[in-house]
Structure 1
Amino acid sequence: MTAINALRTSTSGLNAQATKLSGISNNIANSSTVGYKRVDTQFESLVLEGSSSGSYSMAGTQANNRVEISKVGQVQYTGTDTDIAVNGTGFLVVNETSDSDGKYLATRAGSFRPDAYGNLVNSAGYYLQGVKLGADGEPVDNAGDNNVEGLTTVNINNISVASAPTTEMRTWFNLPKTETGYANPPPDADSFVSSIDYYDLTGGTQTLTYRFTPRIPEEDGASDTNTWTLEIFDSASGDLSSTDTFDTTKRVAAIGMQFWSTGDYAGTIGAIWDESGALLADADFLTQQTTMAAAGSAPVLSGVPNPATYGATAASPSTDYGDTDNLAAASVLGTYDSETGVLTVKVGVQGGYEGYDLPITIGTFNSFEGITQLTGSYQETKVEKDGSGFGLLERVSVEEDGQVIATFSNGKSRAIYELKLAVFPNANGLNPVSGDAYEMSLAAGAVRLLQPGDGAAGTTSGASLESSNVDIGTELTNLIETQRAYSSNASVIRTADQMMEEATNLKR
């Protein structure tokens, strides 16, 4: 190799080390940048000419900086709900504009904050994209899992309030068995009363008042009747100007209930009379009661007992369990489904408005999971209901499956967006742009949008960020090596220059 070739080779070495130095300096400068991917410098030798004999003419080296896109950084908890980190494979999808009309990009820089309009935007000015969900949790406009253009900017200002009516309720009670025996005087009319709130169609709070009245025998020494009347009064029904909780215009349910007194099912519901006018009963229970009534060892139940007289007196008492023509004086309300154990009542009935159906689970025949009549005190054993009142948006969080959850001041939560992760066959082929984002390119392959946690996609972590994948110790070591390599190349250039000067002096 001539001195001139040595100069050219070492000069390429200086340029290559300078290229590496620029990558190291960029890594160190961005060691604290969220989602930053380290620049790695790769060297390759240059050959001007080679031969089959193995001899070649060398021309030095050149360096290429490559971004280590697929190398993940450490996920750190931040406590800020709108921060998002990706655990594993995949990228968050962002857009250059809030209306999603700009270029779609991929990023792992998940430090998002709402702008003045509620759009989630990161520190680089890119807007987070997702699938908008309706109140039912289904996509509002689903353009397909692999359609990037079907995504829209995540906005948390378009969900400000929330309320939902109560559409189902589960109420279980224990009724004291001892109260269905002879008593003189009878217990107070309001001895067994409970009030349970529910939400109407506008999110307002209303109250259902349950009143249980035992049917007691008319004479001392008679056996327990094991029979009760259940009335339910609705604060949103009937005469709203009345302050009487038990105003008959507010009554939305009035049914008769009879319980097993012996056997394996003692204390459970055996029969119910509802507004259909039919006796609903377990077959074995009906056989037992009919037999006992014929023998005079059990009281005859004639429809729904009248709570006004504790059921001791009813209009035209009947000895036929199948006779439902003569019920108590009180109107019978509510439809019972013996298969599901649901009593359906109409609430909000007033004026010309018919109200709406509210199914209330009270239990099936022969089941202890429902209203029971056991020895003991009167008490509510279970109260469950859905629905919610008026509530303001309090916070937004991100789940592992990519769902953006809105939590309201009424304690209710629901998903408002679903994030998708962009997965590429060759993530390192993406084209880096400013702001730690990447353009989708042919070299990266076709993008697939996957729900976090599905297939090759990683999961999302809310209130967390992925830190830079730069290791400062490694970069400082590389800095020292680069400095020495640069100095060594400079030394070669000085030596070659001296040799050329010596050769020039030989001509003089």
Structure 2
Amino acid sequence: MSISSALSAGVSGLAANSTRLANISDNIANSGTYGYKRVDTEFESMVINQGRGGGLYTAGGVRAATSRDVNQRGNLVTTSNALDIAITGRGMLPVVTSSAVASGYSTPRDLMMTTTGSFDTDDQGYLRTNSGLVLMGWPANADGTIPAQPRDSATGLQPIRIDGSQTAADPTTRITLGINLPADAAVGGATGDAQEMNVEYFGNLGNSEQMAFTFTPDVSGTTGSRSNSWTMEVRDSAIIDDAATAADESLIGSYTLEFDSSATTGGRLMNVTTGSGGAFDPATGTLTVTGANGPMTIDLGRYGASQGITQLASDFSPANATKNGSPVGSLTALEIDENGYIRATYDTGFTRTLYQVPVVDVPNPNGLIALDNQTYKVSPDSGAFYLWNSGDGPTGEIAGYAREASTTDVAAELTDLIQTQRAYTSNAKVIQTVDEMLQETANLKR
């Protein structure tokens, strides 16, 4: 009968509003939780035996449906920690639990996602949060490049570990000679004294070595005439000559440099002839010699360029020789940039790329399975994940020194709380009224 269905509808109303109250309480409790996504509650009516006319109605009641609004983005909050990470738009960070790392992390199904996290190195060097989430990324090659990785699989991802990067060296690979050779020395009949200079460079182990350059002018011409020609010899101090032979084994390159003496481009490099060593490339103005620590690029400057090595009527000036690289340094800072590259800075000024953190995206974020600590896993409803470079495709950029705030609006939740309380009280009143009516019905027998 209808009176009984009214009782059932009232009970279902109590249950539905209890569910809504639980969700509201969860949202308010997590209003200060970084990365929290609020839970929405929707009521859905139930219809039982809805006929046409007849005047008889059976109440079906209501049921509550809950969903987490993962698509909604919280405001970014600036922090002072370089490895407080958030995403400026769509997408999530790949993480795993520290227990999964401790057990060897061998299965991609351990992969989880989170929108923000405050990471720091633990006692084993892993980047993890206080709640035990370890950040995942692709390791970089020694030169800082990231090898090609599968984008639809987590097999290339590794837990980010910094302990092996506490000290590092940056080997020298390029020396630039912005020097001047005295034009008056390359004259027939002159003394022909060689000009010498040493450039310090850093080897593969961070060791300090010397690259020696000797410039000998061509004075074989007619007395007083300029040859504008020099012989450059390159020697590597890391190569020890064999005393048993007369060969100069430290000599790794010999070149003839010819300079222009015209009115417009006088004193600029005009031609380089290779005697030994790598060939000179006019397009880049460089040559490559092979030393004890591998190939070394020497930048002389392009033909006719005002930058690089010159021959002018001035003193020999070796002070403008520069190089890249640095000796062994200790780690001083870790940062992540907008492209997701984690870079280490050392006290020698050297910066090295260690990992790239991709941004994880799924077709339906609201279909993800919510877990503890604001983490999520893929489900059939969310669809398969894809690993994007930060800022590519539909994803936002990775931001350091930032956390994503909770999406809870406390004022709106308090309004919902009042509405829920009133609805719950009203449903309780319905049950009370039905109880009284049933009591009156029972009293009819007396």
| TM-score > 0.5 by shorter chain | yes
- 2:33 matched to which residue of 1? 33
Distance in 1 (CA, whole Å) between partners of 2:54 and 2:349 is 78
How far did residue 41 of structure 1 move? 0.7
- 1:316 matched to which residue of 2? none
- 1:126 matched to which residue of 2? 133
Distance in 2 (CA, whole Å) between partners of 1:8 and 1:254 is 99
Q: SS of the residue aligned with 1:31? A: coil
Confirm or deny: 8 A CA contact 2:218 2:229 kept in the other structure: yes
> Deviation string for 1:452-480 (max 9, x for gaps)?
22222332222322121111111122112
Q: How many residues align?
A: 434
- State whether structure 2 residue 166 is matched by structure 1 residue 160: yes
- 1:197 matched to which residue of 2? 200
How far did residue 67 of structure 1 move? 1.0
> Deviation string for 1:199-251 (max 9, x for gaps)?
1233212234556566779999x4555455656565545689xxxxxxx9977
Confirm or deny: 8 A CA contact 1:42 1:64 kept in the other structure: yes
Confirm or deny: 8 A CA contact 2:367 2:382 kept in the other structure: yes
Percent identity at matched positions? 34
- 1:86 matched to which residue of 2? 87
> Deviation string for 1:31-78 (max 9, x for gaps)?
111211101111111222112559752222111221111111112222
How far did residue 162 of structure 1 move? 2.1
Distance in 2 (CA, whole Å) between partners of 1:378 and 1:173 is 8
- State whether structure 2 residue 52 is matched by structure 1 residue 114: no
Distance in 2 (CA, whole Å) between partners of 1:344 and 1:149 is 38
Distance in 1 (CA, whole Å) between partners of 2:316 and 2:87 is 54
In our comparison, the structure showing a higher alpha carbon Rg is 1
Q: SS of the residue aligned with 1:389? A: strand
Aligned amino acid, residue 203 of structure 2? D
Confirm or deny: 8 A CA contact 2:188 2:218 kept in the other structure: no
- 1:483 matched to which residue of 2? 421
- 2:209 matched to which residue of 1? 206
Distance in 2 (CA, whole Å) between partners of 1:335 and 1:128 is 44
Distance in 2 (CA, whole Å) between partners of 1:275 and 1:150 is 47
Distance in 1 (CA, whole Å) between partners of 2:53 and 2:130 is 58
Cα distance change, pair 123–274 in 1 and its aligned pair in 2 (3 A): closer
Aligned amino acid, residue 159 of structure 1? S
- 1:422 matched to which residue of 2? 360
In the alignment, structure 1 segments of 5+ residues that lack a partner are 241-247, 277-333, 349-354
What do you get for the CA RMSD once the two structures are aligned? 3.6
Q: SS of the residue aligned with 2:9? A: helix
Aligned amino acid, residue 145 of structure 1? R
- 1:360 matched to which residue of 2? 298
Distance in 2 (CA, whole Å) between partners of 1:101 and 1:209 is 51
Aligned amino acid, residue 201 of structure 2? Y
- State whether structure 2 residue 280 is matched by structure 1 residue 337: yes
Cα distance change, pair 271–70 in 1 and its aligned pair in 2 (3 A): closer
Confirm or deny: 8 A CA contact 1:180 1:214 kept in the other structure: yes
How far did residue 381 of structure 1 move? 8.1
Confirm or deny: 8 A CA contact 1:7 1:496 kept in the other structure: yes
Trace 1:104-253 onto structure 2 (pairs within 5 A).
104-137=111-144, 142=149, 144-177=150-183, 195-208=198-211, 210=213, 222=224, 226-228=228-230, 230=232, 235-236=237-238
Cα distance change, pair 262–434 in 1 and its aligned pair in 2 (3 A): closer
Cα distance change, pair 263–485 in 1 and its aligned pair in 2 (3 A): same
Aligned amino acid, residue 67 of structure 2? R
Confirm or deny: 8 A CA contact 1:169 1:384 kept in the other structure: yes
Q: Which deviates more, 209-218 or 128-137?
A: 209-218
Confirm or deny: 8 A CA contact 2:72 2:407 kept in the other structure: yes
Q: SS of the residue aligned with 2:303? A: coil
- 2:77 matched to which residue of 1? 76
How far did residue 25 of structure 1 move? 0.7
TM-score when scaled to structure 2? 0.82
Q: Which deviates more, 174-183 or 430-439?
A: 174-183
How far did residue 82 of structure 1 move? 2.5
Aligned amino acid, residue 66 of structure 2? N
In the alignment, structure 2 segments of 5+ residues that lack a partner are 243-247
- 2:275 matched to which residue of 1? 275
Distance in 1 (CA, whole Å) between partners of 2:432 and 2:65 is 26
- 1:59 matched to which residue of 2? 60
Confirm or deny: 8 A CA contact 1:93 1:105 kept in the other structure: yes
Distance in 2 (CA, whole Å) between partners of 1:345 and 1:149 is 40
